[in-house]
């Protein structure tokens, strides 16, 4: 069983996102492997491991920390990233998604039924820092191509897929 751990830590005065995987079946989580050293964005909240395919990871990262988002035109400057090799390499998800989100992608959920259907939602606490932007929900049937669900929704802090 794979587990996920995320932590922000300061290194040389910069906030870094550290994501790690543990293999609980082998050593009960005693060893961890860092999987985020290549990220150019330094803030992360949501991270999901596919429930039936632990090599597939889905996460979101933003530039800087929330208090600074409202002070610049690109705001959170968040992106969705996907790994298909347990975090060794990451690729920005772009098909059907904006090149950057003004709001942080606060919620990610992958359907537990073995399919690759995934959902992402923006908003949450980040909306307090970035006034005027609207929350959004996107869905993908293959964690590759995405489409926006055209709903007027409140800020999204969590999602559940049944």
- Give pLDDT tens digits for 86-103: 888 889 999 999 999 988
In the prediction, which pLDDT does 139 show?
Answer: 95
In the prediction, which pLDDT does 103 show?
Answer: 87
Q: Contact, 126 vs 66, CB < 8 A?
A: yes
Pairing of strands 14-23, 33-34: antiparallel
Mean pLDDT within 103-118: 86
Mean pLDDT within 53-77: 86
Report which of 105, 134, 102, 146 is spatially closest to residue 122, judged by C-alpha positions: 105
Give 67's DSSP letter.
H
State pTM to two decimals. 0.79
Q: Contact, 161 vs 117, CB < 8 A?
A: yes
pLDDT at 17 over 50: no
Instruction: Report the percentage of the chain scoring pLDDT > 90.
Output: 23
In the prediction, which pLDDT does 126 show?
Answer: 64
Mean pLDDT within 48-54: 84
Mean pLDDT within 3-8: 46
Mean pLDDT within 39-57: 81
**Strand intervals (E) in the chain:** 2-11, 14-23, 33-34, 43-49, 57-62, 79-83, 91-92, 105-110, 118-122, 137-140, 146-149
Q: Which residues sit opposite 16 in a β-bridge? A: 9
Average confidence score pLDDT of the chain: 78
What residues have CB less than 8 Å from 122, skipping those under 6 apart? 78, 101, 103, 104, 105, 106, 133, 135, 136, 137, 156
Mean pLDDT within 44-67: 84
Q: Contact, 55 vs 77, CB < 8 A?
A: no
In the prediction, which pLDDT does 2 show?
Answer: 41
């Amino acid at each position: 069983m794979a587990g996920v751990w995320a932590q922000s830590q300061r290194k040389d005065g910069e906030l870094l996102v550290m994501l790690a995987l543990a293999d609980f079946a082998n050593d009960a989580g005693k060893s961890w492997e860092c999987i985020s050293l290549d990220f150019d964005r330094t803030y992360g909240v949501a991270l999901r491991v596919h429930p039936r395919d632990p090599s597939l990871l889905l996460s979101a990262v933003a530039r800087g920390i929330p208090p600074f988002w409202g002070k610049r035109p690109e705001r959170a400057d968040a992106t969705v990233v996907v790994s298909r090799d347990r975090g060794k390499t990451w690729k920005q998800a772009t098909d059907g998604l904006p090149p950057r989100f003004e709001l942080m992608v606060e919620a990610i959920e992958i359907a537990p039924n073995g399919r690759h259907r995934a959902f992402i939602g923006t908003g949450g606490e980040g909306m307090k820092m970035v006034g005027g932007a609207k929350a959004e929900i996107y869905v993908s049937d293959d964690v590759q191509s995405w489409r926006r669900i055209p709903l007027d929704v409140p800020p999204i802090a969590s999602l559940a897929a049944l």
